Every structure is written in structure tokens, then in C-alpha cells.
A and B are shown apart, each in its own frame.
Chain A
Amino acid sequence: MLGTGLLLYMLSKEIYVVNHETIAGASTLIVLIYAIRKFGPQVGAFADKLNEEKVAKAQEVKDTAINSLKQAIADENKEQWRVEGRNYLFDAKRSNVVMLLETNYRERLLHVYEEVKKRLDYQVNLQHVIFRREQEHMVNWVEKNVIQSLTAQQEKESIAKCIADLKVLSKATHASL
């Protein structure tokens, strides 16, 4: 309202002279308004996009830092959990080792027992052999002495007796047949 009134007043009183500059100004105005209407939003969006990119970059740095720190925390927790579990691992390993030692000990015990048994068996067999030898020797000696003690007379008597017995026996057999 004020603008229109002021403009008309200035025009009528020739305070604002209409000369070639007015026309020049009018043409500049038309070109400027057209350009701004047409390209204004695009330029604004472009400027906003530039700023968005800057903010996004900074945000990305921040997010990456936060994520890496969170990852570090999670890894740390996992390591702590692993440390707790380590005790069970050590117990299992310890009992494993104990079992191995036990088995080894038993094996060696068995080995020792077998060796000792072998030695003792050897002694036993040795004694058996000696005993048998002695027995045989004694039997031989007894036989030898008996045979030596048998006189000729006794031999004849025994042989005659044997023949008589045989005859009796043969007779008995013939009878049975």
C-alpha cells in the first residue's frame, strides 16, 4: 500500500525521473526474476546437497568410530568369558595328563610283573628239570643196582617161574577157548 502510493507520488512529481535507466532496470529485473524462478530451487537443492554430504561424512566418521568401539567392547567381553572358561580347560587337561600317567604306570607295573614271573617260571622249570633228572638218575641207579644184585641163580629161578606161569596161563587160555 505504502509502496504503490510512494511510487505513484514519486512518478507524478518527477522525483523519480523515468529515463533510459528505468527501461534498463526493467529489463534487468525481468531477466533476473525469470532466472531466479527457473533455477532458484535447483540451486537451493544443490547447496543443501553439498551441506548434506559434509554432514554425512562427519556422521560417517562418528558412526565408524562408535561401531569400532562397540566391537572392541564386545571382543573384550568375549575374551573375559573365554578367560573364565579357561579353568575348565585346564582341569580337563590336567585330568587327561593324570590319566596318561596312571596308564603308563600300570603298563610298567605289568611289565615288571611279567618279567618277574618269567624269572620265577624259569627257576621253577629249572627245579622241575633238576628234580626229574634226579629222579631218573635214582631210578637208573636203582635199576642198575637191582640188576647187579640179581645173581645168576635168581635169574634162572625167575625165568623158570616165568615159564611155569606162562604155561599155566596158556592152559587157562586154551580152556577158555
Chain B
Amino acid sequence: MNENLFASFTTPMMMGVPIVVLIIIFPSILFPSPNRLINNRLATVQQWLIQLVSKHMLSIHNYKGQTWALMLMSLILFIGSTNLLGLLPHSFTPTTQLSMNLGMAIPLWAGTVVMGFRHKTKASLAHFLPQGTPLPLIPMLVIIETISLFIQPVALAVRLTANITAGHLLIHLIGGATLVLMNINPVTALITFIILILLTILELAVALIQAYVFTLLVSLYLHDNT
């Protein structure tokens, strides 16, 4: 407990050199893309997974939406891999930084909105007013819909940041509690350790789910606007 709880969330520096770029680029090494028909097991399983996910995720889109396939697939792979790698001890997760998540969410969301306004102007404007509203409520509802539209990217980014950061914090806290309790009362430490294990399983799931949710929402915004 020499450092404060938030030490793992600072920009990683090694002898004064920011290596955060290296850390962000690192997960791409884990996804080989050979050009053969028969690959090793890792590449085969990854290929199969990507095929499965892309089929499910792009089945709802028309042709125009399916041009975003590469973007969505790389998004889910990046977020999933960085989240999973962050569960290792002493590692830095880029997705805990709000700056990075905003940098991912705002351009993607803005892309879908602008595309919608360019191609289907009337329908995009019509999204601001849900069907069947009584006449006096219309002005207020338009304002509310506008606010909800502009909140979308912020919600995307903050959701991802908060979930991953909260998970990491919980792990560190409970780990610290276990460490302290080991000297005082080993049995409680054991219970806390079991809680930690359960939490780790949850965090694994959360890592993957957050990636999925992010990508799904982007694809949903895309679907509305193509």
C-alpha cells in the first residue's frame, strides 16, 4: 500500500518516457492474420470467433450499414482485448481513461449521425419526435429528444470508463483487504479471497460484455441512420 489506490490509472511512464502508445498497440500482436487455409489453433479459433460475431452483428444492417463491418469488428476486438489484458496484475488498461473512450465514442457516433442526416434527412429529423405524441407536448419532446441524442456519445464513453475502472478498483480494494486480513484473521482472508475469485470471473465477463455493448450500440446508431 505504498501508493494510493489510483496509481494504476496514471499514464504509464518508464523512466520518464510515455509508453502508453506501445501499450495501446500491444493487443494487435495477439491477433495473427496469416494468409493460409489451414492455420494454427489460435488463428483458427480467432477466425471462427470473428466470423460468428460479425455474422450476428451485421445481420440487421442493409448494404450501406455493412460497409462498417471492419470498423465494428476492430472495435469489439480492441475493446475486448484491452479489457481482458487489464486483468493481469500491474497492467495498464487504456480503456480506463475517459479521454480515450471519448475519442472512440464521439467520432463513431458523429459518423452515424452525419451519415443519417446526409442520406435520409427527413427520417433523421423525424427521429426527434416519437410517434403519437399529443400536440401540446411536441416542443418539450423535441428538446428532450435532442438532449438524448447528444448524450449518446458521452454515455457510451462514460459507461465503458466507469465499468472498467470500477471493476479494477474493486479488485484492488478487495485484494488489499485480503492482504491486510491475512495477518489478522486468515479465515476472513480466505473468504475475502474467494470473493476476489468470484469478482475476477465477473470482471472477465464484464470486460467482454462491455466491448460487446459498445459495439452493439454503435451498430444500433448506425442502423437507425442508414
Residues of A that sit less than 8 Å from B by CB = 17-25, 27-28, 30-31, 43-44, 46-48, 50-51, 54-55, 58
Contact = CB atoms under 8 A, between A and B. Distances in A.
A46 B176 contact: no
A116 to B, nearest CB: 92
Given A24-B175, A58-B37, 17 more contacts: A19-B179, A20-B176, A21-B8, A22-B89, A23-B179, A23-B196, A24-B196, A24-B200, A25-B89, A27-B200, A28-B88, A31-B197, A31-B201, A47-B42, A47-B45, A47-B48, A51-B44
A31 B200 contact: yes
| Secondary structure call for the A interface | helix
Contacts of A48: 41
Contact of A54 (B1, B37, B89, B173): B37
A30 B193 CA distance: 11
Interface of B: 1-2, 8, 37-39, 41-42, 44-45, 48, 87-90, 171-176, 178-179, 193, 196-197, 199-201, 204
Shortest 3 CB-CB contacts between residues of A and residues of B:
A25-B89, A20-B175, A23-B175
Given A28-B200, A31-B201, A50-B44, A21 B175 contact: yes
Nearest to A50: B44
Contact of A20 (B41, B48, B179): B179
B38 A28 contact: no
A120 to B, nearest CB: 98
Given A18-B179, A44-B41, A24 B2 contact: no
Contacts of B48: 47, 50
A47 B45 CA distance: 6
B45 A43 contact: yes
A31 B204 contact: yes
